[in-house]
Amino acid sequence: PDQYPLMLHFPYFDVYRKQVVKQSDLVLAMYTCGSWFDAHCDEDQLAANFAYYEPLTVRDSSLSACVQAVVAARTGHLRLAYDYATEAALMDLADLEHNTRDGLHIASLAGTWMALVAGFGGTRRDGDGLRFTPRLPEKFSRLAFRLQFRGRCLQVEIGPDRASYSLLAGPPLTIHHHGREVHVAGDEPVTLGVPAPKWRPTPEQPPHRRPGVTERPVPSDG
């Protein structure tokens, strides 16, 4: 564990000959181009992509955890997504990289919002519309957020087994909830059930790189 990040302890020519990656471009693309992958890949393909790269990704960057949280949630690994989101949120509060004294990891803090809204909220832009595939981890009882989208203000509230969409301002909006087309107007919220994810084995991570704070405790002042 003392040899992470690898790029600070091993020469590049040595690391590049090993089957390890700092961050997976494909996993990042599954988030940033989520609508394309939804249209061209089924759930099993998305899960297989994520499962392949998890054991290879050493997360030498503080920007990795938030993206892996989003894709872990997208592929139904909600506990793993929770651990990654926790790592992103506590990057500085727990000084996980032991360098907070040099400045805050602002991008990781912003990534915590991504982990919540795009991960557990399942929010994705799809052309001129929005798609949602919300699911909460067991440790969450509720998640709520608002989005400004094309002159509208949409409020999303998610519970363990249902999600509600309320249009607070602007003209009616058509969204998709777990593939179902839904029309939201300003008169009352639309509440829909949240399907349980398909069970899949939880992917393993490289040695000593499990997400969260369990393997990297808060440094003691004593």
The pLDDT of residue 127: 82
The Cα–Cα gap between 136 and 119 comes to 9
Calculate the average pLDDT of the chain. 88
Q: Which domains does the chain have, with CATH numbers?
A: 6-120 (no CATH), 123-193 (2.60.420.10)
φ, ψ (nearest 5 deg) of residue 133: -130, 65
pTM for the full predicted model: 0.88
φ, ψ (nearest 5 deg) of residue 154: -110, 130
Q: What is the mean pLDDT of residues 74-80?
A: 96
The Cα–Cα gap between 196 and 203 comes to 19
Walk across the sheet containing 143-149 and list its strands. 143-149, 152-158, 162-169, 190-193
Find the helix or strand (DSSP H, E) in which 96 lies: none
φ, ψ (nearest 5 deg) of residue 152: -120, 155
The Cα–Cα gap between 132 and 124 comes to 6
pLDDT digits (tens, 9 = 90+) for 80-126: 999 999 999 998 888 887 788 999 999 889 999 999 999 999 999 98
The Cα–Cα gap between 72 and 31 comes to 10
pLDDT digits (tens, 9 = 90+) for 153-169: 999 999 999 999 999 99
The Cα–Cα gap between 194 and 167 comes to 19
Provide the β-strand partners of residue 193.
162
The Cα–Cα gap between 112 and 70 comes to 10
Higher pLDDT, 181 or 126: 181
Contact 140, 85 (CB under 8 A): no
